[in-house]
Chains A and B, each alone.
Chain A
Amino acid sequence: MKDTHENTLKIDSLNHWFGEGETRRHVLQSISMEIFPGEVVLLTGPSGCGKTTLLTLIGALRKVEDGDLRVFGQQLFGANRKTRQNLRKKIGMIFQGHNLLRCLTAEQNVQMGADLLNGFSYKARRNQSREWLRAVGLEDHMSKLPHDLSGGQKQRVAIARALAAKPKLLLADEPTSALDSSTGREIVDLLKKLAFDQACSVLMVTHDPRILDVADRLLRMEDGQLLPSV
């Protein structure tokens, strides 16, 4: 049990393959890494090097094929569907596309995140959602539908939604790729600040060289392998 709270994420010789037989590709090759509470870790590397695959494995969206992967001390190798599903609730995710629900307003989208929490009344969850939208600077856009929001505003809503479920680990996959540089910068700074306030670890995959400085630690990946940190 002691191990449980020492690190948010611990990976030991993780391997993953795609495809079958001849075309089988070894996309992740004995990855080992750790993330500690409150850390902001950036993962960079050329496209197709396996970053996103690693992220989906950590996010419990894929079955672990080989190796040790623990999130909050929970072993994901051999974990069943239910365990993975429950774990997902504790992990916030921000996607490249904002992936907001088109039929819901900004406030309702954020509440979809807050609704995952047990033990709060509807009102409390709604107030939390509003609180989060205020925190990302969208207090004037609460009842707008996603298609009435700009790209940066949508990504802010997505951040609010991810944080509304009070995760202790936030996975972000190129959150700035669809944004111009200054908006991207704002979003990343906001993400870092809010994650810091919540003592939430962040693992962010990015190509964007302009935002590398927000990281506590930088990991580089190439051809399915983590390069030794500099």
Chain B
Amino acid sequence: MIRKFLENRRIPLAWLLLTRQPLRILVAIAGISFAGILMFMQLGFRDGLFDASVTVHKLFNADLVLISPRSKSSISMSGFPRRRLIQAMAHKDVIGTTAVNWNFLLWRNPENLSTRSILALGFDPTNDLLLDPNFKEKADTLKNKGRVLFDELSRDEFGPVSSWFRSGRIVETEVAGKRVRVSGLVSLGPSFGADGNLITSRETYLDLYSANPPGSIEIGLVRTKKGSNIESIVRSLNASLPNDVRVISLQSFIDFEKNYWKSSTSIGFIFTLGAAMGFVVGCVIVYQILYSDVSDHLPEYATLMAMGYNLRSLIGVVAREGFFLALMGYIPAYVSGQLLYSLVRSSTKLPVEMSFARASIIFCLILFMCMGSAIAAMKKLADADPAEIF
């Protein structure tokens, strides 16, 4: 097949038209890449934000989650009676539960003494909390009162806690005006709602946040027997428990959080609009380039028609120009996207990753952009009248 192609190929007019005009193609590539980078960044931020909103959620060792029906998102969790979790234990497939308190408390930066809101999780250290197998050991240190585990991925504004701790220094600071000591480091990651996280025992939590009614918790984690039908447990627990609590699967809990950021905030809209603007800018640039290219070469296209090339083959030339531009614009956009993503990851600690789905969606958008502009520019070809060139 390749041999047949090589035998039948003709002068690659589209390629030569583009490459013999280096300035024009550079402008085109710059424009398309710029549009591509814009789309990569906007969609990357959007997806990164949504992923970041569930960084902690994904780490929970749970199959089902109990939340208050009044909870709207991780930044506005309402409490429900802890008894419900004990009642849930009665179900034959439930093998373990963990009561989790979840709220924002003020953390004092031990270096410059400024305060900042941090997400504090309180739980009973004898129960499971995170999937990480090394966590158990760290959790044991919380059995002493006034100890916290600090999230080493928290933003730098919380102070150089992890480096101090690693260097063997005793890190003590204030949370909600009470003295605490960092007894270990965990890796959770900041989210949109929370710039940093700390984990402590339920006892310390209640001490730090004394307004919290002792019988009230924000999240109940439920672990079930291996291979049990999650959906049916969710149904039967929802039916048996009073309606001051809602039982959902861990995946629904993750979706619930993502959904909040997607639908109840303008984040999704803003970033999608940003990407759409990149797309429109790209369309305008490619159209301009291709249109002026066709206009400049109109006598030559007319000559080709006079020689016997039909309109279809000339349309093919413009289409191929669009295709080449799409390819040549996408590659630098992809590479810059990767670089900028790692820059974003290191400076914001948001989980912005180059996903295959996004890379292919943006390729399709760029291809669509270039081919659409090519089709619009082809209309100009109709002006190529071979009778006019004599």
Contact = CB atoms under 8 A, between A and B. Distances in A.
A85 B305 CA distance: 8
B211 interface: no
Interface stretch (B1-9, B35-43, B373-381): B1-9
A177 B259 CA distance: 75
Contact of A104 (B16, B21, B308, B390): B16
Contact of B20 (A103, A111, A113): A103
A59 B299 CA distance: 17
B7 A108 contact: no
B307 interface: yes
B390 A56 contact: yes
B11 A61 contact: no
A90 B307 CA distance: 9
A23 interface: no
Complex A-B, nearest 9 residue pairs according to Cβ-Cβ distance, in ascending order: A89-B308, A103-B20, A88-B308, A115-B10, A121-B7, A61-B387, A99-B303, A61-B386, A56-B387
Nearest to B5: A122
Given A59-B306, A61-B306, A108-B16, A99 B386 contact: no
Interface in A105-153: 108, 111-113, 115-116, 121-123, 145
Interface string B100-134: 00000000000000000000000000000000000
A146 B20 CA distance: 12
A95 B17 CA distance: 22
Contacts of B297: 101-102
B350 to A, nearest CB: 46
Interface in B5-35: 6-11, 13, 16-17, 20-21
Given A93-B306, A121-B7, A99 B299 contact: yes
Contacts of A85: 308, 310
Contacts of A111: 10-11
A107 to B, nearest CB: 9
Nearest to A98: B303
Interface residues of A, number: 34
A80 B321 CA distance: 29
B389 A99 contact: yes
Contacts of B8: 121-122
Contacts of A165: 307-308
Contacts of B307: 88-89, 93, 112-113, 116, 161-162, 165
B303 A103 contact: no
A101 B310 contact: no
Contacts of A59: 306, 386
A52 interface: yes
A62 interface: yes
B304 interface: yes
A96 interface: yes
B313 to A, nearest CB: 10
A39 interface: no
B10 A95 contact: no
B20 A95 contact: no
B269 interface: no
B260 interface: no
Q: Is the interface of B mostly helix, strand, loop or mixed?
A: helix
Interface of B: 6-11, 13, 16-17, 20-21, 297, 299-300, 303-310, 386-387, 389-390
Contacts of A56: 386-387, 390
Nearest to A52: B390
A115 B11 contact: yes
Q: Choose among B13, B309, B390 the residue with the greatest number of A CB atoms under 10 Å from its CB.
A: B390
A152 to B, nearest CB: 19
B61 to A, nearest CB: 65
Nearest to B4: A121
A103 to B, nearest CB: 4
29 contacts: A56-B386, A56-B390, A88-B307, A88-B308, A89-B308, A95-B303, A95-B390, A99-B300, A99-B389, A101-B13, A101-B297, A101-B304, A102-B297, A102-B300, A104-B11, A112-B304, A115-B11, A116-B308, A116-B309, A121-B7, A121-B8, A122-B6, A122-B7, A122-B8, A122-B9, A122-B10, A161-B307, A162-B307, A165-B307
A168 to B, nearest CB: 13
Contacts of B304: 101, 112
Given A52-B390, A88-B386, 13 more contacts: A59-B306, A61-B386, A85-B310, A95-B303, A99-B300, A102-B297, A104-B11, A112-B304, A115-B10, A116-B307, A121-B7, A122-B6, A165-B307
A55 interface: yes
A16 B21 CA distance: 41
Nearest to A174: B390
Nearest to A124: B7
Contacts of A95: 303, 389-390
A96 B303 contact: no
A103 B21 contact: yes
Contacts of A86: 308
Nearest to A89: B308
